[in-house]
Structure 1
Amino acid sequence: MNAHEIIEQTQAANIRLVRFLYCDNGGIIRGKATHAYKLASRLHEGIGQTLAMQAFTGVETLASVAEMGPVGEFRLMPDPDTFVILPYLPNTASMLCDMFQLDGQPWGACPRTFLKRTIARLAEQGLQAEVGVEHEFYLARSVNGQYVPADTSGCYSSIGLDEQATVIDAMLAALEVQGFPIELFHTELGPAQQEISLRHANALHAADQVCRVRETIRGVARLSHLYASFAPKPFLDQGGNGAHIHVSLWGTPQRERAQQNLFYDASQPGGLSQMGLYFVGGVLHHLRALVALTCASPNSYRRLLPHFWSSAYGAYGFDNREGAIRIPSLFYGREAESSNLELKCADHSGNPYLAIGALLAAGLDGINQCIDPGQAQKVDPGNYSDREREQLGIRRLPLSLDEALDELERDTVLLDALGPLLATSYIAVKRAEASFFSNKTPEEETLQHFYKY
């Protein structure tokens, strides 16, 4: 969409405010809004934002980052292709933004630009990533200052679909109006827990969709006097919320004309190609550092428990839902198209541009270094003894955000991919969040994450 089309749509719909949005290092969606009469100039000049905002934490404090204080600013530059009129708000539209320096160059602390760089690295090797995300969330009400599930329905229960049919239909309608290709919707393990899956898209669009889905579902829930929470563990005694990431790599093999799914090989077990295995190897090799970006809050590590189907160990398997990486079974008649890998240790407290970009960087390292993932696991890796897991090379995922950050600080591949400014600011933000919750009770931590995500 070009600037002229955006202005025309804004005028036709009587839009008053256009939000310039981004997802920060704390995983919070933030931004500023321009009045429609200034939109024409804002489209090419952006909106100023203090450099300190990329040192802002999810608990609304400012982490200590040398280059992110009260002096200086960056520009929020909107991507015209992300323009949407928001159906759940009056006279409001939005666009997602990249961060630029005042000299017009991309800013090194921009998460969306990091993902673009990773996509470009893949393209240099003739590869394109397709990504899909499963979004889990709870619907809740506030009762006497506490959040309680909106109903008591069970896993995959049609009762839950019936109980929330009105708000679910409104959510789906709001997503459809914005052009989202919805594939599945069902109730999940916890009471009033829901899950929605969208069709895969290129990596950048998939990350954009994560932000849009969160904004839309929370916005529509508010219209029904409900809260929608994507927090990793919003209720300590219930199942957690994941944001499982599905990925496949596509390219044009030699002597072929059309793009093909390079993770598919009909001659191999489960249809997974050698390239797919190397990608798995790379992810497993970097996994203990990667989760600092995909499971990015203290609350995340209350979800990553053995025997909770959320993945607690660095293992993979075919349709093994206790492994960190699941190789889903193929769809009949669409075997080549449907081949993909699912990363289960991911949730909505992570910035989607960082999570997806780092996942791709880890997998690409596996391909380039021919990293062997070892044998696929046919059982829950939590059922092995410690000695058996050690013999198989299966490691427990970090038990805390601080432990994951320690791993990230040692992982030169992921640090180099992020770049010095983004890596430094991200780690500082996450250290500050971990410190903030270090003396809080589990209930206090959960309550704050519930509302933030």
Structure 2
Amino acid sequence: MAAHVAERVETGRIDLVRFLYADHGGIIRGKSVAGPRVAERLHTGIGHTVAMMAMTMLDTLQPVEGMGPVGEVRILADPSTFTPLPYAPGAAVMLSDLVQPDGRPWAACPRTFLKQAVAELADVGYSVLAAFEPEFTLGRRTPTDQGPDRLVPIDDSLCYSATGFHAAHDFAVELLHALEAQGMRVEHYHPELGHGQQEMSIRPAPPLRAADNHVLYRETVRAVAMRQGLWASLAPKPIAGQAGNGCHLHLSLWSGDRNVFHDPAGAYGLSNEGRWFIGGLLAHLPALTALTSGTVNGFRRLVPRSWASAYACYGSDNREAAVRICSPMRDAAEESTNLELKPSDSSANPYLSLGAVIRAGLDGIRCKTEPGAAVDVDPDTLPEADRPPRLPSSLGEALDALEADDLLMTALGPLRGAAYLAVKRADVEAFAGRDADYECFHHFTKF
């Protein structure tokens, strides 16, 4: 495989190959290697300080035992993910694991966390197909007379309006071509509710590929915008007064070529396993939100009556429920039966997010956790006594729930769990008392 990558580097005239990973803050980071040295570095990896997994989204290093100035890991690229970058001539990318110098897995590697979740599924005869469904805001980064830069949307068009298509056409076409050149199959595109808000979704894939795809997607959206003199942000709330950017997570569970979630005789066409999977998600949902919507800015989006989900409930095509049972396609009911997790956004580390969701759902199946009755109305319209439990209203609340969740903390492990909590609690402190302009600026410029 290394020889094949080296050949592609040479024939494709690749000067630099980026080895990328996602950190605990949800930031995509990495290093690059000169093209002629890529085969060597596929064997040794690139040296990297352990401290980077204790770095916040504001680049402040947190005191985490085992992640200080002493210690080394290697950024070890997965050669199966090699792809030239259509938006960066002369560059290519590979998604990477963080490993110990002797090549053994490192206990704080996010990609390994997802691999382990996939292995747990395989041990009981299951596999997953997953897709991240990102929204993002397209605009221009604009200085202000006072305060930080702000993001000015490219248009003020209406949801799904033809005007929105016109305003972003050149960008959308270039983005589509760039995604497909990297092996992602685009399925849908439309202008969304917020001013300048876009959604371009890609086909489902096995979990590791789905998370890798989302890293590539995030980088591609931002890079294509920059090449056109624009700025794109996948932050949950880049503009405080506009609709938030979700990244709904779609999942289906498979055993061989059979969709385990599908049962035409079950309520909403869902099997027992599908119902129990929902039960597991709801049982762990307060803790999950610390991983699926893991920024201060993310909880600005998770408010009632915003179609983002604010309550721990499920329903059939209920877009105010945290878990939506999606209506299957008429001519492909089994293939298209899937669940959608709505309290999810692109500021999350996709490997940690998806790995935690898989473990929560699998726990529900193992324990046969019943999710209770489906909610078929906006839960916020119910009498207060009848409403489902409210999701955490802040990152701090979600981190408290995560720290108290034995299943997820055990899965994260001592090093990763301690580092994640430290990094995120530092973010809570850093944004406390700051205004919305400061918060939105630091999120729209980084996600």
TM-score band by shorter chain is over 0.9
Q: What is the distance in 2 between the residues matched to 1:442 and 1:385? A: 31
Aligned length: 442
Question: Residue type matched to 1:448 in 2?
Answer: H
Question: Residue type matched to 1:114 in 2?
Answer: F
Q: Aligned residue for 1:104? A: 103
- The percentage of aligned residue pairs carrying the same residue is 49
Q: Aligned residue for 2:399? A: 405
Equivalent position SS for 2:247: coil
Q: Aligned residue for 2:61? A: 62
Query: Deviation digits for residues 103-150 of structure 1, max 9, x if unmatched?
Result: 221000001000000000000000001101111000011233332001
Give the one of 430, 444, 447 matched to 2:441.
447
Q: Aligned residue for 2:124? A: 125
Q: Aligned residue for 2:206? A: 202
Q: Alpha-carbon deviation of 1:37?
A: 1.8
Equivalent position SS for 1:309: coil
Give the one of 326, 342, 346 matched to 1:348.
346
Q: Alpha-carbon deviation of 1:265?
A: 0.2
Give the one of 149, 165, 170 matched to 1:161.
165
Question: Residue type matched to 2:412 in 1?
Answer: L
Q: What is the distance in 2 between the residues matched to 1:396 and 1:95? A: 40
Equivalent position SS for 1:44: helix
CA RMSD of aligned residues (A): 0.8
Give the one of 342, 361, 374 matched to 2:372.
374
Equivalent position SS for 2:297: helix
Q: Aligned residue for 1:430? A: 424
1:92 maps to 2:86: no
Q: Alpha-carbon deviation of 1:333?
A: 1.1
Q: Aligned residue for 2:325? A: 327
Q: Aligned residue for 1:212? A: 216
Q: Aligned residue for 2:410? A: 416
Give the one of 385, 388, 407 matched to 2:386.
388
Question: Residue type matched to 1:140 in 2?
Answer: G
Residue correspondence of structure 1 range 242-321 to structure 2 within 5 A:
242-252=246-256, 259-321=257-319
Residue correspondence of structure 1 range 26-105 to structure 2 within 5 A:
26-105=25-104
Equivalent position SS for 1:374: coil
Q: What is the distance in 1 between the residues matched to 2:269 and 2:8? A: 46
Q: Alpha-carbon deviation of 1:373?
A: 0.1
Equivalent position SS for 2:190: strand
Give the one of 221, 226, 230 matched to 2:225.
221
Query: Deviation digits for residues 382-439 of structure 1, max 9, x if unmatched?
Result: 11122112xxxx2101011010000000000011111111111111110111110012
Q: What is the distance in 2 between the residues matched to 1:348 and 1:171? A: 17
Q: Alpha-carbon deviation of 1:367?
A: 0.3
Question: Residue type matched to 1:162 in 2?
Answer: H
Q: Alpha-carbon deviation of 1:244?
A: 0.2
Question: Residue type matched to 1:374 in 2?
Answer: G
| Deviating 4+ runs (over 2 angstroms) | 142-146
Equivalent position SS for 1:298: coil
Q: What is the distance in 1 between the residues matched to 2:418 and 2:140? A: 38
Query: Deviation digits for residues 267-299 of structure 1, max 9, x if unmatched?
Result: 112211000000000000000000000010000
Q: What is the distance in 2 between the residues matched to 1:106 and 1:220? A: 34
Q: Aligned residue for 1:256? A: none
Query: Deviation digits for residues 160-187 of structure 1, max 9, x if unmatched?
Result: 1111111110000111111111111111
Equivalent position SS for 1:34: strand
My pick for the range that moved more, 2-11 or 49-58, is 2-11
Q: Aligned residue for 2:146? A: none
* Contact 2:6–2:36 (8 Å) recurs in 1: no
Q: Aligned residue for 1:255? A: none
Q: What is the distance in 1 between the residues matched to 2:159 and 2:59? A: 35
Q: What is the distance in 2 between the residues matched to 1:94 and 1:132? A: 21
Structure 2 gap segments, 5+ residues each: 144-148
Q: What is the distance in 1 between the residues matched to 2:34 and 2:102? A: 25
Question: Residue type matched to 2:61 in 1?
Answer: L
Question: Residue type matched to 1:164 in 2?
Answer: A
Q: What is the distance in 1 between the residues matched to 2:299 and 2:383? A: 22
* Contact 2:138–2:230 (8 Å) recurs in 1: yes
The TM-score normalised by the length of structure 2 is 0.98
Q: Alpha-carbon deviation of 1:13?
A: 1.6
Q: Alpha-carbon deviation of 1:6?
A: 0.9
